[in-house]
Amino acid sequence: MSSRMKLVPLVVLFLAGLGLAGGIELVPSTFTPTPGEELTLRVTGAPEGAEFYWDFGGDGTVDFTGNAPELTYTTRAGYQEVVLQVVVGGAPVGSARLAITSHEQLGAYRLVQGTDPVEVTLVIRAKGHLFAPGLEESVPPGWILELVDEGGAFTKREDGRLQAVWPYELWTGNEVRLRYLLYPPASGATARLQGTASAYAAGGGRIEIRIGGRVIAP
């Protein structure tokens, strides 16, 4: 972790702990880190003089706090959610949540924009020689999904899930993308987004990881 941050034995209730509030966003230096790689998270939209409370794990426990609008740490293998609370003068003014998935051979992340409808882009990135990349994304209950760009994938929707598979061979740096719209059941509704990405390694075996990036709509 960055030496600018200090550990504090404090548990707080995050403002909008399941999502993003106050126009605050977390921007990673990469959405698809490899285990052991240094990752920088930069805060945008925070007012001057803000203090930042960082929760690595999304369990409501503050792990680090400081005045710098960014933090650099070494990623570990697997899936991790980072929650940030922004405080000014002792009062919370906004929060953000971002998921980071770190894997040696496969990366996957989600981009979200808009409110009604919400536009979601899913990206799978190869970090090795892979075959038949695919994904499965859950559709939030009550929300309506409209698929607008399959990106060359074969898709299927059933039991509240969107499934996609690309008949492609990927090499390091290659990406496939899929884009869909989500229509909320009511104005101001929010929902948690979750899904998995997969591929077959050239050396044999199937890889499956959780999709990182934004996890809340909108």
What is the per-residue pLDDT across 170-195, written as a single tens digit (0 to 9) for each? Answer: 999 999 999 999 999 999 999 999 99
DSSP state for residue 46 in the 8-state scheme? P
Q: 106-217: what CATH class?
A: mainly beta
CA gyration radius for the chain?
Answer: 18
Distance CA 180, CA 41 (A): 26
Average pLDDT, the chain: 91
CATH number of the structural domain 10-102: 2.60.40.10
Question: Residue 142 and residue 212: Cα distance in Å, rounded?
Answer: 23
Preceding omega of 69 cis (within 30 degrees of 0): no
Domains of the chain, by residue range, sit at 10-102, 106-217
The strands making up 212-213's β-sheet, listed across from edge to edge, are 64-66, 51-56, 78-88, 91-102, 212-213, 106-113, 118-126, 175-183, 144-149
Torsion of CA 29, 178, 108, 173, to 10 degrees: -70
Report the C-alpha gap between 114 and 182 in whole angstroms: 10
Contact 11, 83 (CB under 8 A): no
- Percent of the chain at pLDDT > 90 equals 87
Average pLDDT in the 21-37 region?
A: 92
Q: pTM value?
A: 0.89
Answer whether 10-102 and 106-217 agree in fold.
yes
